Chain A
Amino acid sequence: MEDRTTLNRQLAQMLKGGVIMDVTTPEQAKIAEAAGACAVMALERIPADIRAAGGVSRMSDPKMIRGIQEAVTIPVMAKCRIGHFAEAQILEAIEIDYIDESEVLSPADDVYHIDKRKFRVPFVCGAKDLGEALRRINEGATMIRTKGEPGTGDIIQAVRHMRLMQSEIRRLVSLNDDELYEAAKQLRVPFDLVQYVHENGKLPVVNFAAGGVATPADAAMMMQLGAEGVFVGSGIFKSGNPEKRAQAIVKAVTNYDNPAVLASLSEDLGEAMVGINESEIQLLMAERGK
């Protein structure tokens, strides 16, 4: 494997057990860093506001992203539209640490994802199931996350994606060697990726939970379901007490299997973000880019 791909997968390994927070200003980025975030996602509007505003949503202003890069020492990520390789080139030019080719923004291409192998900066992509995850990895993604419905505060989709992916991984592990070729065909992915999952029982890259995480309990549940870390978008800065909630979610990811600690973390957090149920939303962002 190419050196760069390995290094980019390894940066994701360093983020494990951590929380990546959406921030829109340098001040929010500092709050996130002080609360123990392992990285921040710089964007002009958090998903809940993107959803409320409607219209076409694009890559953030590079100047705004630079402001956040200057404010913190932890890795800074930013989103580009699915398939929008020119936005990705711009993000690479400002030396972003990770690009999220994200369904949260309006897709720029309804057929092709970005050829991520052409880039030196790493990419994280969303996936609802194993096939989607392996297709993104084949395109060069070096980190995967669930495609839970952004900006809703409803965890159900992220749970569905993580459960499905884990059960599909278990199924691949249980197959005979000669059944793997057919599995590769069904998943529409190269044989060597299927073989890797069969032999190792996991994706070849780090897998985070994303979308709808609003409470320490949400984060802990996703970790227990097999996530290696958590993205929190609107859940923090749309809540009553962002600082306290940010710290609580960080500690919940570290202590995800310790209910006593989780109980004390969940106390007095103030108001959680106002949620929207999956049945109440018009636009299912997870259906963008498959």
Chain B
Amino acid sequence: MKIAILALQGAFAEHEQMLRLLGVETTLIREHWEDVSGLIIPGGESTAMMRIMKDEGLFEPLRQAILDGLPVLGTCAGLIMLDRNHLNVMDITARRNAYGRQLGSFNTEADFEGIGRVPMTFIRAPYIEKAGPEVEILARIDGKSVAARQRNMLVTAFHPELTNDTRIHKLFLSMVARQNTCSEVAQLHV
């Protein structure tokens, strides 16, 4: 299993470190990629990442790969990039800078569906303003949705890569493992 991490701008090294801790092979991608089982879109500035992504010709290939079922984890800016107004693969609308400027950044702990209490770090973070019927909301803070899943896509408005808690990454890896098993089964049926 090899996981690609989008390395255009932002905190990609932190995800790399987290996956290494879990003994998973990673590759940083900037132009093209091959042979990966999953993708992480890290935190950073979504406007910067979108701009570079378009200029590098990554926008369409990435969008298509995700629509074709490539498991993807988007954290903070990564959540924004997957929403209706950006890559338009996930049926959510993100509200950018939803907690204001840096003075509004905070740490907290909240329940995460299927995992339990999870430490959460929000840095100039978004939240999910609207979500379609297919989207499963996994965590809420003060009634606002801050984590969700839809088919092969998992997003968090906070930064699991900045804490010592590996459970969100493990959840993503289990989605990757399941997807791989499914495609093997599908191949067998061909």
Contact = CB atoms under 8 A, between A and B. Distances in A.
Nearest to A77: B102
Interface string B1-12: 000000111111
Contact of B103 (A3, A33, A95, A254): A95
Contacts of A76: 101
Given A10-B121, A16-B44, 4 more contacts: A10-B105, A17-B8, A34-B47, A96-B101
Contacts of B180: none
Nearest to B161: A13
B57 to A, nearest CB: 12
Interface stretch (B48-56, B81-89, B147-155, B170-178): B48-56
B55 A251 contact: yes
A8 B55 CA distance: 30
A120 B105 CA distance: 10
Contacts, number: 110
A14 B100 contact: no
Given A10-B162, A35-B51, A36-B52, A15 B123 contact: no
B147 to A, nearest CB: 18
Chain B's interface size range is 20 to 34
Contacts of A33: 47
B45 A39 contact: yes
B14 A13 contact: yes
Interface in A245-261: 247, 250-251, 253-255, 258
Interface in B82-133: 96-97, 100-103, 105-107, 121, 123-124
Given A10-B162, A73-B96, A18 B30 contact: no
Interface residues of A, number: 39
Interface string A154-165: 000000000000
Contacts of A121: 102-103
B160 interface: no
A117 B10 CA distance: 25
A37 interface: yes
A7 interface: yes
Nearest to B96: A73
A96 B124 CA distance: 12
A125 interface: no
Contacts of A120: 103
Nearest to B12: A17
B55 A247 contact: yes
Contacts of A69: 101
B101 A14 contact: no
Contacts of A92: 103
Contact of B123 (A3, A11, A96, A247): A11
Contact of B9 (A34, A38, A73, A247): A38
A11 B102 contact: yes
Given A75-B124, A95-B100, A7 B48 contact: no
Contact of B7 (A10, A17, A35, A251): A17
